[in-house]
Amino acid sequence: MSNALIISTNYGTETDELNKPLAALREAGVNTTVASVGGGGIQTLGGDRAAGPVVGSDTTLSSIDPSEYDIVVIPGGTLNADSLRIDPGAQRIVQDAAAAGTPVAAICHGPWLLVNTGLVTGKTLTSYPSLAVDVINAGGTWVDEEVSVDDAEGFTLITSRNPDDLPAFNSAILDALG
C-alpha cells in the first residue's frame, strides 16, 4: 500500500485543494496522512474568503519523516501557501522528498514552497498565474496547462493551476503512485 502526505498550515488552505486530493487518495486505497504546522484543525477557505470546513490533521510538520511517504501533496490557498513557503518544517519535508526522488505535487499557490526551496530550478511547471514570474525568476519554466508532470532534476513534480484542474491533478497523483 502506498503512503501519501498532504502538508498544510492551520489556516487559509483552499477547501477543495485539500479535500478533493485527500478523498481521491483515500478512495484509491492510499494511506494518507495530513500534517499541519500546529497539528489539530485546518481552517479551510473557499476562494481565500469564505470559511470552509475545518479538516483535522493527523500530526505536525515537525513530526514528519518524509522517507515514509511515496508522494508529498501541497494544496494551495493564498494564505496557506504564503505561510507554508517560509515554514522550516515544510521546507525540510519537500527538500528531503525531492532529494530522495519522491514525487511532489503542488496546486495553485502551493508551488511557492518549491520556489522558496529552490526546487523549481530546471523544472517545467504550472501554478496560479500570478506565480509565473516567481517560477521564472527561480529558474523554472512556467506553462499554462491544467496539469504539468516533470521528471527532470531527480524527482517528479506534478503541478496544476487552480481548483478547476483538480480532476487532472488527482489523476496525475494517482498515476505517480502506480
Length of the chain: 178
Q: Among the options 108, 115, 166, 176, which is catalytic?
A: 108
Residues 68-79: b if buried by 16+ CB within 10 A, e if exposed: ebbbbbbbbbbb
Q: Give φ, ψ of 54 to 5 degrees.
A: -85, 130
Q: Is 108 a catalytic residue?
A: yes
Closest CA to 177 of 97, 94, 70: 70
The residues annotated as belonging to the active site are: 108
